[in-house]
Amino acid sequence: MVALAVPAALVVAPGFIGPEAPAARPAAPAWQQAPATLSARQGLSPLNESAPVPVPSAVAAQLEPLLKADGGGTFTGLVQDALTGQILFDRGGSDNRIPASNMKLLTAVAALRALGPEHRFSTTVVAGPSANQVVLRGGGDVLLGAGQSDPDQVMGHAGLASLAASTVAALQEKGTTGEVTVLVDDSLFNGPALNPAWEKGDVEAGELAPLYPLAMNSARFSAGVTTGPRPQDSALTTAEAFAAQLEAAGATAGITVADGVQRVTSPAAPQASILAEEQSATVSQQVDLMLQTSDNYLAEVLGRMSAVAAGQPGSNDAATAAVRAQLGELGIPTDSMQLADVCGLALGNQVSARQFAEVVRAITSGTDTRLRAALAGFPVAGLTGTLDARYGDDSTARGAGLVRAKTGTLNSVIALSGYVVDADGRLLVFSFIGNGLAPGAAGNKEALDRAATALAACGCR
């Protein structure tokens, strides 16, 4: 019995004395343990208003050796302290120059002030003058997509497929069946569709196209194609694409679409019954896209829409007048300016580096906070937009990620206007413009990039 009792006790005993204590776990490695303290906050510190202002003579000593033209021509430039407006460098800063695409900075300011950062353009479909007619009415959105509206995008924010589907639903509600005719109303813009100040060769190369108040892909055949020929009548091209989407959407609703699209003989009345509507991305988003990609067509449309917002015609002349008026209201002297267009393609534009620096200063630190919406549009050196492939060599790498500036390039013109935070934490605005340059000379672009890099690295005391 004893021999049997001992093994039995070993089996029963754990029920009374509990399970055996588990073996101690090995200590977790340090990298798996909860931190005892939080790490220091990463990122840029807020700007310090008490940061020292660079000494002008020290800034000039940095910039003068760098701003040298490669093979002919001259550079002008101006640097200011953004907070105080103090001029830190001035080489012909008040001289009028051909600014190329730096003109888009002026247009950005005008659009944000005249229209407002959150404004959107509406593309509508209204009932036509006769039965079974619909009118596609342009409202200034030239970034329409062919497919469904995409709220996460700027290009294609409003889509023709979505507009067509809403139109079919409205027609069904009205009891419309059978064949429908599509008309297009592009009467929001008037005057010459092509600015006579533009060179014929530039238009043929696709730098610009006739201006209309509705277009797909900023008057490109595809959103992914940014060079080469463009549609020469973006209003009709867009209306034809809408008609195709309407045909597809109406197939199951007993609605067909007549061949061909015509312009309305007279604009649709403002009170015409709206069947469907799609809204664009905000003006702020469009301004950012315009600056990042230097989109000429979008710039010209934003200029015309700024004029329309002020109660003026949607024309070339009204656009330049609207830009000038908005700058004047902002307190930037415009008497010496000559504006031939609002995108910078025309050689007749004349603007000084001082005026551009003042515009950048207004955007970064002026009293009109609506202009802050343009900050995201400035290309970042070595990273985004038209500066993404620059600032990669040893002489400019220190400016990568720090310089934020709008580029400008024509055959014998190069410009760079933007802002940097210097090594002491001071916000500086600048504008450098080269005219009469040797076409294609690589050293000119490098000269501007090195100058902006020097400002970013400047303690200059």
Question: Going by C-beta distance under 8 Å and a sequence separation of 6 or more, which residues neighbour residue 60?
Answer: 89
Domain that holds residue 165: 122-281
pTM of the predicted protein model: 0.89
Are both 367 and 238 inside the same structural domain? no
Residue type, 144: L
174 a catalytic residue: no
The answer to whether 379 and 406 are in contact (CB under 8 A) is yes
Are both 107 and 132 inside the same structural domain? no
101 a catalytic residue: yes
Sequence-separated contacts (24+) of 284-287 with Cβ below 8 Å? 284/112, 284/117, 284/118, 284/373, 284/374, 285/154, 285/157, 286/111, 286/143, 286/154, 287/108, 287/111, 287/112, 287/117, 287/373, 287/374, 287/377
Write phi, then psi, for 77 (nearest 5 degrees). -170, 160
What is the spatial distance between Cα 340 and Cα 350, in angstroms, rounded to a whole number? 8
* DSSP structure class, residue 423: T
What is the pLDDT tens value at each position of the chain, 461 positions in all?
445 444 444 444 444 444 455 555 566 666 666 667 665 555 455 677 789 999 999 999 999 999 999 999 999 999 999 999 999 999 999 999 999 999 999 999 999 999 999 999 999 999 999 899 999 999 999 999 999 999 999 999 999 999 999 999 999 999 999 999 999 999 999 999 999 999 999 999 999 999 999 999 999 999 888 889 999 999 999 999 999 999 999 999 999 999 999 999 887 676 678 999 999 999 999 999 999 999 999 999 999 999 999 999 999 999 999 999 999 999 999 999 999 999 999 999 999 999 999 999 999 999 999 999 999 999 999 999 999 999 999 999 999 999 999 999 999 999 999 999 999 999 999 999 999 999 989 999 999 999 999 999 998 88
pLDDT at site 30: 65
The answer to whether 379 and 452 are in contact (CB under 8 A) is no
Are both 262 and 318 inside the same structural domain? no
Are both 127 and 256 inside the same structural domain? yes
Are both 138 and 190 inside the same structural domain? yes
Residue 409 sits in a domain whose CATH number is 3.40.710.10
Are both 402 and 338 inside the same structural domain? yes
Query: Which 3 state secondary structure label does DSSP give 425?
Result: coil
Indicate which residue of 149, 218, 280, 294 is catalytic: 294
Domain assignment present for 217: yes
What is the spatial distance between Cα 417 and Cα 82, in angstroms, rounded to a whole number? 13
pLDDT at site 404: 98
222 a catalytic residue: no
Are both 106 and 169 inside the same structural domain? no
Strand order in 413-421's β-sheet?
Answer: 87-91, 74-81, 427-435, 413-421, 404-410
Are both 353 and 266 inside the same structural domain? no
What is the spatial distance between Cα 390 and Cα 94, in angstroms, rounded to a whole number? 28
